[in-house]
Structure 1
Amino acid sequence: MVIDAIDKAAGLSPDDELFRARRFRPEFVQGAEECRISVLHPAHDQGLAPILRVALARRMAALNADAALVEQFDTQLAQLDATEQLLAVAQGETALEEPLATIARHADLVTLTPKKAEASDIALLAQAGLNNPQIVALSELIAFVNFQTRVATGLRLMRSA
């Protein structure tokens, strides 16, 4: 059986009961993995390069205090030859050039306090130069990484029970 990114983040292996339990709904396991690939390494990146996506994913994993996912994204960043600016994004820095500063602020806002996100926050992304497909792609990335951290955390909690 294939180990996916959520299994890795949760520390699951094929001999774990939770690993097998996830496979009772293989469409969910496959769907989550396909979604991960589509938001991090899409066929058409809409002008949001995979390296930026991985840097943002690493940033959000750190905000969620998910060390396993941080490590996964660090490995990916090392393979993608990130610039200093993208490493700064990944490390959670805020003194960034535009449009990275606005993109990072938005990812932080939705990750840490999603209830505070408003339509005006989307307008700030547009003002920073993002077009509608880029805003949608960024929203998908933010949603997926936060979903991934929560599922992995839940599985780790279930393993410790």
Structure 2
Amino acid sequence: MIDAMDKAAGLSPDDALFSARRFRPEFVQGAEECRLSVLLPANDHGLAASLRVALARRMAALNADQALMVEYNAQLADLDPTEQLLALAQGATDLDEPLATIARHVDLITLTPNKAEASDITRLAQAGLNNPQIVALSELIAFVNFQTRVATGLRLMRSA
């Protein structure tokens, strides 16, 4: 079975790298379970799937990952997003709150995580996010940035 990471890296079952990933099936399964838990969790804590996918698309663009941008665009289209969420996904910064604060945070952590400070979490809370939402947002940011790096690495290995 092809998972989202295989798809993002352009792997098919006849690729050696596809088979090599299956030497550690727990990593393949774990990455897929993590993807589902951050994008489509059973309890979204008030961060709807459309927001999560819009943010994932934004991070894919910040990481210049064309394959993931296409994938997240398709997923977002299926979720009937608002104009604000489409703008968020496309990288807009002139958004209503709390989207503007969330976008700044996502951009900061994606592009310059070493500049993040405790005050950045405080700003999320001041924008109206509660602790479970801040944790869920952090998990989403971590996963999508992990996904882009793994997919890029797999593409590089495939081209070698």
Look up the match of 1:143: 142
**Aligned length, in residue pairs:** 160
CA displacement at 1:69 relative to structure 2: 0.3
Residue identity (%) = 82
CA displacement at 1:81 relative to structure 2: 0.5
* 1:2-151 correspondence runs (5 A): 2-151=1-150
Distance (whole Å) between structure 2 residues aligned to residue 113 and residue 95 of structure 1: 20
Equivalent residue of 2:108, what SS?
helix
- The residue type paired with residue 126 of structure 2 is Q
Which string of whole-angstrom CA distances, capped at 9 and with x for unpartnered residues, describes residues 70-107 of structure 1?
Answer: 00000001111010000000000000000000001000
Distance (whole Å) between structure 2 residues aligned to residue 160 and residue 104 of structure 1: 33
Distance (whole Å) between structure 1 residues aligned to residue 131 and residue 80 of structure 2: 28
Distance (whole Å) between structure 1 residues aligned to residue 48 and residue 33 of structure 2: 18
- The residue type paired with residue 128 of structure 1 is A
- The residue type paired with residue 96 of structure 1 is L
TM-score by length of 2: 0.99
Q: Which runs of 4+ in 1 moved over 3 A?
A: none
CA displacement at 1:142 relative to structure 2: 0.1
- The answer to whether the aligner puts 1:156 opposite 2:155 as a matched pair is yes
CA displacement at 1:50 relative to structure 2: 0.5
CA displacement at 1:54 relative to structure 2: 0.1
- The residue type paired with residue 98 of structure 2 is P
- The residue type paired with residue 71 of structure 2 is Q
CA displacement at 1:58 relative to structure 2: 0.1
- The residue type paired with residue 78 of structure 1 is A
Which string of whole-angstrom CA distances, capped at 9 and with x for unpartnered residues, describes residues 2-61 of structure 1?
Answer: 101110010000000000000000000000000000000000000000000000000000
Structure 2: 5+ residue runs without aligned partners? Answer: none
TM-score by length of 1: 0.99
Distance (whole Å) between structure 1 residues aligned to residue 77 and residue 53 of structure 2: 10
